[in-house]
């Protein structure tokens, strides 16, 4: 997929019925969920460099109480001063990995995603134009890395797995890229991205 195809498939596109709208299992009503946003940062590298389009991920710090060590997109809960989901995503990304918001071209949103932990997450998709510098906030992030977009969009890499949680069997998507396991809500949002782009 090229950068122009990516832009075209977000122009005027709307969510469709095949989207995943949340983690499997019982979830609270929408009114009880805490609003949050993440940025899905797609890096537009030159194809000649061998990387093409990639996506930036973080590995959450090991000392965090919630989701420690998990792979995620930069983002977090909405703050009172945020004017929109996009503002939340850009602010949280700047705070977590130091990405200058001026380097991000916002393309659009995916469907809101309900997490089992009580969040209503709005995934915001943006293209990041090199060159840029990233600096991880050591209080929140242990590692920043990139994964080729073509790998993430390939349905063959969208594995269904299960795990017992609080006495119940829970199903979720998982993607294994080199030593990194991307699973749960992050993988679910990637599946939504793939489905959005395949129907664009």
Q: What is the pLDDT of residues 127-178, one digit of tens each?
A: 999 999 999 999 999 999 999 999 999 999 999 987 766 667 677 899 999 9
Domain range list for the chain: 3-198
Residues 106-135 pLDDT 10s? 999 998 999 888 899 999 999 999 999 999
pTM: 0.89
How far apart are the C-alpha atoms of 48 and 50, rounded to whole Å?
5
Question: Cis omega (within 30 of 0) on the bond before 67?
Answer: no
Other beta carbons within 10 Å of 91: 19
Instruction: For 47-98, write each residue's pLDDT tens digit.
Output: 644 458 999 999 988 666 555 568 999 999 999 999 999 999 999 999 999 9
CATH assignment of 3-198, given 3.40.50.300, 1.20.140.10, 3.90.79.10, 3.40.50.720? 3.90.79.10
Q: Which two tokens stand for residue 100?
A: 């200058």
């Amino acid at each position: 997929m090229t950068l122009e195809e990516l832009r075209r498939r977000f122009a005027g596109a709307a969510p469709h019925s095949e989207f995943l709208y949340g983690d499997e299992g019982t979830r609270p009503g929408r009114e009880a969920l805490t609003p949050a946003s993440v940025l899905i940062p797609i890096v537009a590298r030159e194809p000649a460099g061998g990387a093409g389009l990639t996506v930036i991920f973080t590995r959450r710090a090991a000392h965090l109480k919630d989701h420690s060590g998990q792979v995620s997109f930069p983002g977090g809960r909405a703050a009172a001063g945020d004017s929109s989901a996009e503002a939340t995503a850009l602010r949280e990304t700047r705070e977590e990995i130091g990405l200058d918001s001026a380097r991000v071209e916002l393309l659009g949103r995916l469907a809101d995603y309900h997490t089992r932990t009580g969040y209503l997450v709005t995934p915001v998709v943006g293209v990041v134009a090199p060159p840029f510098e990233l600096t991880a906030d050591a209080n929140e992030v242990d590692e920043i890395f990139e994964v080729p977009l073509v790998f993430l969009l390939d349905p063959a890499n969208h594995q269904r797995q299960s795990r017992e949680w609080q006495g119940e069997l829970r199903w979720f998507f998982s993607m294994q890229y080199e030593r990194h396991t991307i699973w749960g809500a992050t993988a679910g949002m990637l599946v939504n991205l793939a489905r959005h782009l395949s129907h664009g």
